[in-house]
A and B are shown apart, each in its own frame.
Chain A
Amino acid sequence: QQPVQSPQAVILREGEDAVINCSSSKALYSVHWYRQKHGEAPVFLMILLKGGEQKGHEKISASFNEKKQQSSLYLTASQLSYSGTYFCGTDRDDKIIFGKGTRLHILP
């Protein structure tokens, strides 16, 4: 089943912070976060693993609450380059099931 992302869209001014949430109705073993700019391929940001390990981007952090089956992506001091659509994906039998995405627009 597809994870649910919130909010659907966010507009920020450069330098502001944002939080994007991802929740699943099923148990999570790992959560994958990607960013996609218009007309481009999704780009890997971060993977969070059951047990707390995380691998990924140095300027973006995330949390993974296994009990609540939720993950949140934290974008601090946003830059114009952060604009795009953020997708979370949850693992299901060695494949990733993606949410519908959160569109983030950063204003100068």
Chain B
Amino acid sequence: DTGVSQDPRHKITKRGQNVTFRCDPISEHNRLYWYRQTLGQGPEFLTYFQNEAQLEKSRLLSDRFSAERPKGSFSTLEIQRTEQGDSAMYLCASSLRGTSTDTQYFGPGTRLTVL
């Protein structure tokens, strides 16, 4: 058990609807990452936070995606006006310090299906 939790585990929505996912990192972990994973691919970086500050957002991420980590603890990822191409597993990970030598621990993911 890595200690990172995500909610919900599964989400089915219709195209055009908004969805929001939540991630609770391991307590005391300063870094929080969001990844997207599609079938047969590795996790693809979306964005990450150092405490409450969003430090980087992938150029692949459209303006329909927004993430927050308001108090430096849990984080939310919102997708507005969902499209079928958004269907994927959304993974959250956290690490203690966020250096390149630091281990990232992943949560179980939220599987999104857009109909």
Residues of A participating in the B interface, judged by any CB pair closer than 8 Å: 2, 29-30, 32, 34, 40-44, 47, 49, 55, 87, 89, 91, 93-101
Give me the 4 closest cross-chain CB pairs, A-B, nearest first.
A98-B42, A91-B100, A41-B106, A87-B42
Question: B45 to A41, Cβ gap below 8 A?
Answer: no
Query: B73-112: contact bitstring with A at CB < 8 Å (1 yes, 0 no)?
Result: 0000000000000000001000000111101111111000
Tally of contacts, chain A with chain B, CB under 8 A: 60
With a cutoff of 8 Å between Cβ atoms, the chain B residues found around residue A43 in the complex are 2, 106
Q: How far does the Cβ of A62 sit from chain B's closest Cβ, in whole Å?
A: 14
Assess A40 versus B108: contact at CB under 8 Å? Given A93-B56, A95-B33: yes
Which A residue's beta carbon lies closest to that of B91? A41
Q: How far does the Cβ of A5 sit from chain B's closest Cβ, in whole Å?
A: 8
With a cutoff of 8 Å between Cβ atoms, the chain B residues found around residue A87 in the complex are 42-43
With a cutoff of 8 Å between Cβ atoms, the chain B residues found around residue A30 in the complex are 100-101
Which of the listed residues A93, A94, A101 has the most CB atoms from chain B within 10 Å of its own CB?
A: A94
- Contact residues on B (Cβ < 8 Å of other chain), bracket: 20 to 34
Which B residue's beta carbon lies closest to that of A29? B100
Q: How far does the Cβ of B59 sit from chain A's closest Cβ, in whole Å?
A: 13
Q: Does B21 contact A (CB under 8 A)?
A: no
Q: Assuming A41-B4, A47-B101, A47-B103, what are 11 further A-B pairs, CB within 8 angstroms?
A: A29-B101, A30-B101, A32-B103, A41-B106, A42-B106, A44-B106, A87-B42, A95-B45, A98-B42, A99-B42, A100-B42
Question: B108 to A41, Cβ gap below 8 A?
Answer: yes
Question: A89 to B42, Cβ gap below 8 A?
Answer: yes
Which B residue's beta carbon lies closest to that of A44? B103
Which of the listed residues B41, B48, B100 has the most CB atoms from chain A within 10 Å of its own CB?
A: B100
Contact of A98 among B40, B44, B56, B108 (CB under 8 A): B44
